[in-house]
Amino acid sequence: MTEGWKPILGAGGDASGPIRADLAQARQNRQQRLVQIAVALALGIGLSAVVLTVWIWRIAFAELPAIPGKEALWSLNRPPGITFLDTSGQVMGLRGFRHGPPAPLNRLPPYLPKAFLAAEDQRFYQHHGVDLRSILRAAKADVVAHRVVQGGSTLTQQIARGIFLTPDQTLTRKLQEAALALRIESLMSKDEILDLYLNRIYFGSGAYGVEAASHTLFNKSASDVNLSEAALLAALPKAPSRRDASSNTLHSAMRRSQWVLHRMARAGWISTAQLQDALAHPPVLAPEPQGEVDYGYVFDVAQAEARRLAHGASPDLVVRLTIDPRLQAEAVRAVRAGVAAAGGRGVTEGALVALGPEGEVLAMVGGLDHRESAFNRANQARRQPGSAFKPLVYAAAFETGVTPEDMVKDAPVSIDGYAPSNADRGFLGDITITQAIVRSVNTAAVRIAHQVGPDKIARLARRFGVMGLPDNPALPIALGAYEVSLLDITGAYQVFQTGGRQTTPFLVDQVSNARGDLIWRRNPVLPTPIYDDHRAGQMVSILRQVIESPAGTGRRARLDRPAAGKTGTSQNYRDAWFIGFTPDFVAGVWVGDDHDRPMRGVTGGEVPALIWRDFMLAAHKGLAPREFPNSPGADPRAPFYRILSREFEAAMRPDPVAPDPKPAEVTAPARSEP
């Protein structure tokens, strides 16, 4: 067997040849597979890169806004601001956002732009809109801190974000920001970009641009700021909402400004002596202009009204108001002095409204300090007017045929369980309607209201401009149980002053854009006749006695000229009012507490009457006394002339007296609180 076996041999009898061939083929096959895998992987990576690029382009750049010419960047998407003018066209103040005039680099002290570079972008002149070194440094700091502590955005990126993008911290936003920054850098020089940045960046306190910020904080031009002030300005754009230098977080802004100064010194932009001097002399903020404080409530109302009237026609508005600056200052002074004098009696807030003959708001004080509370007690608050509502009750009675000489009983009254008493708990027996109003007798008012009907009283009050009353009021309406605004009820009293004509209160007279183009103007309107002038004259005569009679509840409001008015005190002394007028002005005053806490015996004939008198004496300074229309000795040229038509006289005829209604149950209405 051994002899018959022959191994298979290669050439020359060597068997290793086929094995090597097989190994070589195997290697070749592996190499081919690796090449195929590499090609497939490369194709996959390339395809993925294409897909990723398309995806990134679609989410980040497909809707990237186009950049207009560099001149347009100065005003593009600029937040709106409002300039308020008084009746003479003088600037009263600004609201919304302040945009200062351009402050070119060549007019600024050299350390001011350098302070911004130190704070925000020290390598500004070395990069092309995106600074990769800053991005990596910021990323490292964020990883170490496990939170976002640095942003890495250049000044150019901040411009792009501020003009074109939202402040959202997303990858898409950052990619868009970078792309826009590169485009801006290709469009403008470095100096132009820095110039744009300084004039467009937000500084807090409603100020855009370094010039507006400098005037807001220091009451000086940006060209006049010193080194420490420049550092504070540079400290604000990083986070103005948290480092707003006009807020209670000034300490944080000051601390950051010191850091800015040290960075400037390390960069060699200021000397050690300059650094030490700036640290030793920190900036001092200018006090807020007193006029702006006094006009806070006025501007709130006017801003909302102007926006409504403009219908979005212009981002920047110039609004002419009806406010008389002298009367506004006197109103603010009178309210603050009166409330301060009565502070020990639980009076914590006050409000005043004054109207001119056409209903124009000449003064509005919504509270003691707009900075402490923006809640406007002149037109937002709704409080119980108490007896200040009674003239409207009796005005409705006059339309049913009741006269000032008619008799009414002052005696205990109880109607369907409603049994109010007089403030002094006493009774006078049979008295005239005039006496009932002058002495503010509660029982008489309830009897008259029951006779007339609460629904008719509410309809008349709404006709006079008092809003918010229920459709089916109950008998307590006789004593002012339903809440009203000071502005509404003051406007209602003007119907008596104007001889039965309604003049709806208004504050805005004209709205224009920043270029001076007229957007809206109030057309002169004759007062609308809504009440018989003879009956209005009767009410004026009675309300004069409220002030002039020794028995009148408003005798503390007596002036050196004809005046009429009415006091009001709500239940438990929670509100005290005085509403009154002369032939020249109508004014209303309220005092009380925002949280509905009772005052200590304060009535409408005390603190409010004294505030009203204080204001009215100042308001009439230099004006000659004159009589009310239709009164003996009245000036026939008085503005409230007779304009009744036959149709109006017919419309003003008394309604038939309705049967005594059963008053509905009244519930305490909710109060408006700040």
The pLDDT-based confidence of 656 (bands split at 50, 70, 90) is very low
More confident residue, 673 or 285: 285
- Residues 36-45, mean pLDDT to the nearest whole number: 80
Q: In Å, how far are 121, 406, 665 from 417, measured between CA atoms?
A: 77, 26, 9
| Banded pLDDT at 2 (limits 50, 70, 90) | very low
pLDDT mean over 34-58: 74
The CA distance from 591 to 598, in Å, is 11
How far apart CA 674 and CA 670 sit, in angstroms, is: 13
Q: What is the mean pLDDT of residues 458-476?
A: 96
| Most distant CA atoms of the chain, gap in Å | 162
Q: What is the structure's pLDDT at 76?
A: 61
How far from each other are the two terminal CA atoms of the chain, in whole angstroms? Answer: 119
Residue range(s) of every CATH 1.10.3810.10 domain in the chain: 104-287
pLDDT of residue 389 exceeding 80: yes
Quick one: pLDDT at residue 160?
80
Q: What integer pLDDT is reported at residue 353 of this predicted model?
A: 98
Which entry of 387, 485, 512, 570 is annotated as an active-site residue? Answer: 387
| Model confidence pLDDT, tens digit, residues 341-385 | 998 899 999 999 999 999 999 999 999 999 888 899 999 999 999
What value does the mean pLDDT of the chain take?
A: 82
Which of 120, 211, 349, 360 is catalytic? The answer is 120
Read off the pTM: 0.66
Q: According to CATH, where is 3.40.710.10 located in the chain?
A: 330-651
Q: What is the pLDDT of residues 196-229, one digit of tens each?
A: 888 888 887 677 888 888 888 888 889 999 999 9
pLDDT band at 193 (very low <50, low <70, confident <90, very high): confident
> What's residue 634's pLDDT?
44
Considering only residues 320 and 634, tell me which one the structure prediction assigns the higher pLDDT. 320
Q: Which of the four pLDDT bands, split at 50, 70 and 90, describes residue 544?
A: very high
Structure confidence by residue, pLDDT tens digits, 440-466: 999 999 999 999 999 999 999 999 999
- Give me the pLDDT at residue 75, please: 57
pLDDT in tens, 98-111: 666 678 888 899 99
User: What residue type is assigned to position 267 of the chain?
Assistant: A
| pLDDT of amino acid 94 | 79
Q: What is the distance between the alpha carbons of residues 598 and 473, in angstroms, rounded to a whole number?
A: 25
Q: What is the pLDDT confidence band of residue 659, given thresholds at 50, 70 and 90?
A: very low
Higher pLDDT, 443 or 161: 443
Sign of the CA dihedral 222, 228, 234, 238?
negative
Among 51-55, 92-96, 154-158, 451-455, name the one with the lowest average pLDDT. 51-55
Residue 387 annotated as catalytic? yes
Tell me, what's the pLDDT at 8?
44
Query: pLDDT tens across 64-118, in order?
Result: 666 666 666 655 666 667 889 998 888 888 776 666 667 888 889 999 999 999 9
> What CATH number has the domain spanning 104-287?
1.10.3810.10
Judge whether 421 counts as a catalytic residue. Answer: no
Query: For position 213, what pLDDT does the model report?
Result: 87
Classify 330-651 by CATH class.
alpha beta
Q: What's the mean pLDDT in 603-611?
A: 97
The Cβ of residue 113 has, within 10 Å, a number of other Cβ atoms equal to 21
- Higher pLDDT among residues 383 and 148, named by residue: 383
Contact call for residues 381 and 596 (beta carbons, < 8 A): no
CB atoms within 10 A of CB 513: 15
